[in-house]
Structure 1
Amino acid sequence: MTTVALDPVDRATAERVLQDAPLPQDRWAADYPWPDELDAMRMFLAQPSPEPAAFGVYAIRDSSGLAVGGIGFYGPPDDDGAVTIGYNVVPSARGAGRASAAVAQLLEIAAAHGARRVQAVTDLDNTASQTVLLKNGFRELRRDDVQAYFECLTA
């Protein structure tokens, strides 16, 4: 099984990602960050106090410690105990199970911190992401003309 580590992102790291200005200790894949990662960092920094939190954002690191993607929550659980997640892995690191391993870890974090349901949305043509979700116990709830909507219960 593929192993990855989820590294909580703090304000300084998010700012470096947005500026494409890694420090030597950041250790990024050549094609990191992917554009989706930039959107996640902007959302993270727009929060009132963007600091690492259970329901924050994480860098996905491969077994050598190289940042190969990002994963995280759109915020804490809502009144029904639901959270929404998003994730990406850079093209150079795709196809090795890293996204599946990262989603599995994020589900554990969600459950450990009280989330009862985890939701995700994919574009209809993103079958790789849909496969990641299905492998992790998500079920498809519905589709519209553009996206597929998934959910997984944590308990």
Structure 2
Amino acid sequence: MGDLVTARLVLHPLTVDESERLVAGRPGVGDRWAPGYPMEGDVSAARRLLRACAEGGAAHPGSYEIRRREDGYAIGGVDFHGPPDEQGSVTIGYGLVPASQGKGYASEAVRALLVSARERGFARVKGDADHENAASHRVMTAVGMTLVGQDERVKYYEIAWTAGTAGPAGR
């Protein structure tokens, strides 16, 4: 699994060593972390990846560090929370350091992850956000995900593909 490259970003798939450094909060030689990185969500994603590798079960489909192409700084992360279920459905998560929010990076990163999911044969991608998280609602809508439900705390989004339908890149 290689880097996913967009106009302004590189989504770099985390290795076990990189995940261990994220969990420890210690950058390695050559790591360029923007102020505030890693955040809690990045550490959680790294832990999920490490747990999946340690259990040796189904391969984890990927946790990615979001890096700016212009300077290589890690500014956040985006990941699949686990392997696809029996119906080919995966859940994603994403986040950016505060200084990088509001610049369209999250939409760009999630769009690239959706293209990857489609290319890998996943049938559906799900995401969710607390009601107050209007920015995340805008991201999921901007990349073509549809609001499919909500409860007292969270709104749920998804996008699904069938044979012959356009993915996020075709929108």
Q: Same fold (TM over 0.5)?
A: yes
RMSD across aligned positions (CA): 1.8
**Aligned position for 1:100:** 107
* 5+ long unaligned stretches in structure 2: 1-5, 166-171
Residue 128 of structure 2 is aligned with which of 117, 121, 143? 121
Identity of aligned residues (%): 37
Unaligned runs of 5+ in 1: none
Question: In the aligned structure 2, how far is the partner of 1:105 from the partner of 1:18?
Answer: 25
Structure 1 position 48, deviation (Å):
3.6
1:89 & 1:50 partners in 2: Cα distance? 28
With normalisation by structure 2, the TM-score equals 0.84
Aligned positions of 1:65-76 closer than 5 A: 65-76=72-83
Equivalent position amino acid for 1:3 in 2 = R
Tell me the secondary structure at the aligned position of residue 17 of structure 2.
helix
* Structure number with higher relative contact order (C-alpha < 8 Å, ≥ 6 residues apart): 1
**Residues 68 and 50 (structure 1), Cα distance of their counterparts in 2 relative to 1, 3 Å cut:** farther
Secondary structure, aligned partner of 1:131 = helix
Q: If the length of structure 1 is used for normalisation, what is the TM-score?
A: 0.92
CA distance in 2, matches of 1:135, 1:106: 14
Point out 4+ residue stretches in structure 1 off by more than 6 angstroms.
Answer: none
Structure 1 segment 1-155 matched on structure 2, within 5 A: 3-49=8-54, 55-63=61-69, 64-154=71-161, 155=165
Report SS of the residue matched to 2:72: coil
Alignment check: 8 A CA contact 2:52 2:60 kept: no
Residue 39 of structure 2 aligns with an amino acid whose one-letter code is: W
